[in-house]
Amino acid sequence: MGNLRAYSGITTKIRAMHKRLISDAAFRELANLTSVQEAVLFLKRQPGYQDIFQSVDETSLHRVEIEDNLRSSIYDDFSSIYSFANMSQRKYMDLYFKRYEVDFIKSCLRNTYSNNEVSSNDLELNKKFFERHSQIDLEKIKVCTTIDELIQGLKDTEYYSGLSRLEHISNPTLFNYENALDFQYFSSLWKNMQKVLDKKDLEIIIRDQGSKMDLLNILWIFRSKQYYNMSNADVYAMLLPHQYKLKTMDITKLVEASTKEEYFQALASTYYGKRYQLTSIASVEDVYAQVRNKQHLVDAREHPYSIATINSYLYFKETEVDLLTTTLECIRYRVEPSEILNIIKKQ
Amino acid sequence: MIVKMKFLSITGPKADIDRVADEYLTRYEIHLENALSELKTVHNLRPFVETNPYKDILAKANEFLGLVDVSDVQTEEAIDLSEAIAVVESLNENINDIRNSRMLLEDEREKLNEALRVIEPFQELQFNIEEILHFGHLKYRFGRIPIEYYEKFLKYVYADLDTVFVKCQSDAEYVWGVYFVPTIDHHKTDAVYASLHFERIYLPDEYKGTPEEACIDLQNEIQRISAKIGAHTNQIAAKLEDNRVKLVRAQKEIESMSKIFDVRKLAACTSQKQDVFYIICGWMAEPDAYALQKEMENDPSLYCVIEEDDEQDSELDTIRSRPPTKLKNLKLFKPFEMFVKMYGLPNYHEIDPTMFVALTYAFIFGAMFGDIGQGLLLVIGGYTLYYVKKMDLAAIVGTAGIFSTIFGFLYGSFFGFEDVIEPLWIKPMGHMTNLPFIGTINTVFVVAVVFGMFLILMTMCFHIINGIRAKDTKDTWFDTNGVAGLVFYASIVAVIFLAMTGNKTPAFIILVIMFGIPLLLIAFKEPITNLVQKKKEAMQESRGMFLAQAFFELFEVLLSYFSNTISFLRIGAFAVSHAAMMEVVLMLAGAENGGSPNWLVIVIGNLFVCGMEGLIVGIQVLRLEYYEMFSRFYKGTGRPFDPFLTVENKKSRKR
C-alpha cells in the first residue's frame, strides 16, 4: 500500500508520457521520408518533440544540433519526472542522472582530444538542467583546452580521483579515461543504490543493471579481443566491476579464448549462452537489446508501482532517441527504407 | 550624547609630514579620512606614495616578540627610534647563525620525512631491503595498484601469472606491495601489471634492514633532528629572553613610528613639480579641533582649516562623507552603550538613545524583578565584577539591580518573603483593579500597559524629532510613527482612558476626524509626500494595486499598534511571576505555614530564581527595547569614530 501511495502520481504521469513516445507505425513513416528536412518536420509533429523543435528552422539545422535537441528532450522528460518524484525516488534519480553526467564528460574529453571546443550549443541548451542536477562546474569546464585542465576542472567531483590517477600510467588514452568514467559510474551506482532503494525496488534494479553489466562485459571482451587485439590483462582491467549471472570462471574462459570459435564455445556455457542462441557477435548485440527491452517491459508491467516505472520509461525514451538518431543518419545517407527498418528493428 | 564633530584639513610641505604627525596628531584624537576621496572637488591631487621604511624591521621585531613571553613587561620608559632599530638589528645578527643552522636541519628533516613516506607503506614486508635490491635472478618491483584493479588482479590474473605479489599496506584507494618476477621473461609479467595500472615506486638504495626497521630508524633520526631544532629554537628564545625588556620597548617605538608613517596612506599631495604640499583631513571633536588649530597657528610651516558647517549648506553634506559618531555619556550610562552598539551606532544626526535605554532598561528590569534582597545581590555582584573585569554587562546588571531593590520596597518583597516588609505601593500578586468592559484584573497589568502606551508615545516623539533633523517630510508627518501616527495613537489612548474612567466618549464626528484622517495619511503617504514636495508621478503603480497594497499595509499597521501595546503586558506578568516563583520556593522549604523553613532550600531556591529569572527578564527587557521602542525611532546607521592613534598609544609617547 505504501508503494501505491508513493507511486500513484508519478505512475500516472509516466503513463501519460508513454503516450508521447513514437510508435512503430510512426517510425515506419519516418523511415520512408527522403530528406533530413522532412524528418525534422516530422519530429515537429510528434507530441514528444514538438516543443523542442518548434523554434528551430529545419532548413538550417546541423546534424549535431539535431542530436543535441534530441538529447535535451531526454533531459526534459527526466526533469518532469523528477519534479513529480518524492524524496526517495529523487535519490535514485540522482544516481541515474550520473549517466548523463558521464556522457557529458566523455563528450568533453573527446572534444578536447580532437582539439574541438566543448560543444557550446549543447552546454547552452542543457545548462539549466545540469546546473540543477550536476556536481560539475560548467563554467570551469567550458574554458578547458587540455585533458589536464579538464581533469582539474572536475576536481570537486567523484570522477576526479579515478581520472587523475591515470596520470601515473604511461600514455593514457581516451579509452583509458572513458573506461575510468564508466567504472566510476557503475561502481557508484552499484554501491549507492543499496542505500537508497528498498528491498523490492533494489531487486528490480539489480536485475536490470546486473544483466546490463554482464552483457556489456560479454560484448566488450569480444570486441577488445577480436577488433583491438588487446592483451588479456588489459581486457581484465577494462571489465565492469560487478557480475550478475556470469561467473568468474565464465569471464576467464571468455577472455582466455584465443579464437572466435573458442569464444563462442565459452559463451555457450554461460547463463546467457544457455538461454539464447549466441552464435555471432551480431546475435549478442541483438540479445543485449532484446533482453533489456523485454526486462523493462516486463518490470514496468508487473511492478507498476515501483521504481521500475521510472527506470523503464527513461530506458525507452533513451532508446527512442538512439533510434531516431540512427534513422536520421540513415535518411541523410539515402539508405533504403526497408534497410532502415531492418537496422532499427521496427519491421 | 553624540559629540559634535568638526572637519579639518591640515596642509604643509611634503617633507614635513612626519614631524606634524608625531608632534600634533599623537596628542589629539582625530578620525582621518582618505584625503583623495574626501576632497573630490580639489583638482590636481595625487596619492602620497612612499614605502614604509619600518616595515621590515617591524616584522622582525614582531617575529622576535612572538618567540618570548612578554606579558609581564611594563613599558613606561620609551627609547629613541635609532636605538630601537639598533636593538632589533643587533639581535637579528646575534641569532642569525643559529637560525641558518636550524634551517639546514629543517631541510635535512624534510628529506628524511620524504624517505619515510616512501618506505612507510611497505612495513608489512618482512625482508631485508638491501638484499632485495641486490637480487640476481629475480626482478623486484615496489609499487602500488588501485584497489579495484587489485581485486581484478586477484580474481582473474594472479593464479596464472609467474609472479609473487607481497601485499603491504592499503588505504581506500590503493594497495601497496612488491612483486617478484624471474628475470627471464619479466617483460611479459611487467606488461600485465602495467595493464592493471600498477604504479612503480623506485626505492633508493639507502634503507637498512627490513622496511619496518628502516621506518623505525628513520623515525628515530627525525626525532633526533627535531630535538636539535628544538634546542636551536630554545637558544634563540634564550637570547631574546635576555633582551626582552629592550625588545618590547623597541617594538613599541618602531610600531608607533610605522603607524605615524602610514598617515601617508590617507594623505594626498599636490601635483606640482616643486614645492609639493601634503594634505590630510579628518574629523575631530569640536573642542579638540579648536585647541589644535590654536596650537598650529604658531607653526609657520603649517596651515590648518576648520570647515564651519552651515546648517543650510546641504550641498556640502553630499560632497563630504558623513561625520563619524563618537558617543559621550555619563559614566553611569556608559555601559549601556553596549546595547546601542549591538543594534547599530547612531547616525551623527540622530538622537543618541543611550540615556533613554539606560533609564528605561533599568526601570523596566526593576519592575519585572522587584526584590530587595536579590536586587542588592545583583548590585553588589554586578558592580564588583565591573570593577574587577571591566565588563559592561556587569555594570548594566548592577544598575538594573538598583531599580530591582527600589521596586522590592514598592512590592514589599525580600528574598521571597512577602510579609516581612510592608509594601510601599502594592503586592503584585493580589492587588486587583476593576475595569469597565474587562472586569477584574491585576493592577500591575493595567499599569504596565499604560506605561507601555506612554513609552510608545514618547518614542514616536523621538521619531518625529529625528525626522525633522534629517529634513525628511515623509518620515516626520506621514509615517506610522510620525505626526499622523502620533495623533492616531494618542487619540486611541485618550478615548480608552476616557472610557475606562467612566467619562463620556467624544462625539462620533470627532472620532472620525481623529482616527480617519491620520490613517488615510499613513495609507497614502507616498503619493502625498510626492504631492507636497511637488514631485511628478504622484502615483507610480496602477491604482488598483496601490489601493490593495495600502489596505493590507494599513491593516498591518493597526495590528502592530495593538500587538506592540499588549507586548508591554509582560512587565506586569513577570512582576507577578517573580512573586509566584518565590512562593513555590518557600513552599518547597516548608515555610508557607509559618513553620521553621529549610534554609538550604531557601538559599538554593533564591539563587536559582535570581539567576534564571534575572536572565529571562534581562532578555525580555532587551526585546522590548529593540522591538517596541528602537524600531519606532532608531535607525542605527552611524559609523564609529576611529581615531588615527589611540589615547593609550599617545600616553607612552608623551615624554
The 3-state secondary structure of A150-162, one letter per residue: HHHHCCCCCHHHH
The answer, yes or no, to whether residue B655 has pLDDT greater than 80, is no
Compute the mean pLDDT over every residue in chain B, rounded to the nearest whole number: 84
Per the structure block, which three cell numbers stand in for B405?
Answer: 531593590
Average pLDDT value for residue range B382-386: 91
Average pLDDT value for residue range B82-97: 83
Distance (Å, whole) CA A106 – CA A125: 17
- Compute chain B's Rg from CA coordinates: 39
B478: DSSP letter:
I
The answer, yes or no, to whether residue B408 has pLDDT greater than 50, is yes
Question: What percentage of chain B has pLDDT greater than the value 70?
Answer: 94
Distance (Å, whole) CA A155 – CA A164: 9
Quote the Cα angle for B96-B101-B102, to 5°: 95
Report yes or no: B157 at the A interface, CB cutoff 8 Å. Answer: yes
Tell me the pLDDT tens digit for each residue of B579-621: 888 888 888 887 666 667 788 888 898 899 888 988 999 999 9
Tell me the pLDDT tens digit for each residue of B196-220: 888 888 887 777 788 888 888 889 9
Q: Is A165 in Cβ contact with B146 (below 8 Å)? A: yes
Q: Note which residues in 192-221 of chain B have CB less than 8 A from chain A.
A: 192-197, 199
- How many Cβ atoms sit within 10 Å of the Cβ of residue A233? 23
pLDDT value of residue A227: 86
Which H or E run includes B41?
A: none
Distance (Å, whole) CA B436 – CA B498: 11
For residue B182, the cross-strand partners are B138
Average pLDDT value for residue range B286-308: 83
Average pLDDT value for residue range B60-84: 76
Distance (Å, whole) CA B362 – CA B358: 6
Quote the Cα angle for B431-B432-B435, to 5°: 155
Tell me the pLDDT tens digit for each residue of B122-173: 888 888 888 888 887 888 888 888 888 888 888 888 888 888 888 888 888 8
Report yes or no: A266 at the B interface, CB cutoff 8 Å. Answer: no
Give how far B188 is from chain A: nearest CA, Å.
10
Which of A171, A177, A236 to mutate to probe the B interface, most B CBs <10 Å? A236
pLDDT value of residue A120: 55
The answer, yes or no, to whether residue B318 has pLDDT greater than 60, is no
The answer, yes or no, to whether residue B330 has pLDDT greater than 90, is no
Distance (Å, whole) CA B490 – CA B447: 17
Report yes or no: A191 at the B interface, CB cutoff 8 Å. Answer: no
Give how far B113 is from chain A: nearest CA, Å.
22
Name residue A333's amino acid: Y
Average pLDDT value for residue range B297-314: 71
Q: Is A236 in Cβ contact with B146 (below 8 Å)? A: no
Which residues contact residue A9 at a Cβ distance below 8 angstroms, ignoring those fewer than 6 apart? A84
For residue B455, the cross-strand partners are none
- Count of residues in chain B: 655
Distance (Å, whole) CA B63 – CA B101: 18
- End-to-end CA, chain A: 41
Give B571 or B257, the one with higher predicted confidence: B571
Report yes or no: A94 at the B interface, CB cutoff 8 Å. Answer: no
Q: Is A168 in Cβ contact with B197 (below 8 Å)? A: yes
Q: Per-residue confidence at B290, pLDDT binned at 50, 70, 90?
A: confident
Q: Per-residue confidence at B651, pLDDT binned at 50, 70, 90?
A: very low
Q: Per-residue confidence at B539, pLDDT binned at 50, 70, 90?
A: low
Average pLDDT value for residue range B321-343: 87
Which residues contact residue B356 at a Cβ distance below 8 angstroms, ignoring those fewer than 6 apart? B462, B629
Q: Provide the Cα torsion A238, A243, A248, A252; round to 10°.
A: -30
The answer, yes or no, to whether residue B316 has pLDDT greater than 80, is no
Q: Is A252 in Cβ contact with B148 (below 8 Å)? A: no
Composition of chain B by helix, strand, coil, percent to 5:
60, 10, 30
Nearest to B195 among A165, A168, A234 (CB): A234
The answer, yes or no, to whether residue B310 has pLDDT greater than 70, is no
The answer, yes or no, to whether residue B363 has pLDDT greater than 90, is yes
Give how far A57 is from chain B: nearest CA, Å.
40
Positive or negative, the Cα torsion across B283, B285, B287, B291? negative
Q: Which long-range contacts (CB under 8 A, 24 or more apart) does A300-305 make?
A: A303/A200, A303/A204, A304/A7, A304/A11, A305/A3, A305/A4, A305/A6, A305/A7, A305/A8, A305/A11
Quote the Cα angle for A80-A86-A89, to 5°: 85
Question: What percentage of chain B has pLDDT greater than the value 90?
Answer: 16
Q: Is B157 in Cβ contact with A241 (below 8 Å)? A: no
pLDDT value of residue B654: 42
Residue showing cell 601485499: B167
Per DSSP, which regions of B302-357 are E strands? 303-307
Per the structure block, which three cell numbers stand in for B147?
Answer: 584497489
- How many Cβ atoms sit within 10 Å of the Cβ of residue B632? 21
Which H or E run includes B572?
A: helix B569-589
Tell me the pLDDT tens digit for each residue of B179-193: 888 888 788 888 888
Of A259-273, B18-32, B69-83, B427-441, minimum mean pLDDT range: B69-83
Report yes or no: A237 at the B interface, CB cutoff 8 Å. Answer: yes
Give how far A179 is from chain B: nearest CA, Å.
12
**Closest residue in chain B to residue A169, using alpha carbons only:** B197
pLDDT value of residue A24: 87
Name residue A37's amino acid: Q
Q: Residue A254 half-sphere exposure, CB side, CA atoms within 13 Å?
A: 27
Report yes or no: B145 at the A interface, CB cutoff 8 Å. Answer: no
Which H or E run includes A51?
A: helix A50-54
Per the structure block, which three cell numbers stand in for A34?
Answer: 527522403
Residues in chain A, pLDDT under 70: 1-2, 116-123, 346-347
Distance (Å, whole) CA B109 – CA A66: 62
pLDDT value of residue B157: 82
Nearest to A168 among B152, B153, B199 (CB): B199
The answer, yes or no, to whether residue B425 has pLDDT greater than 80, is yes
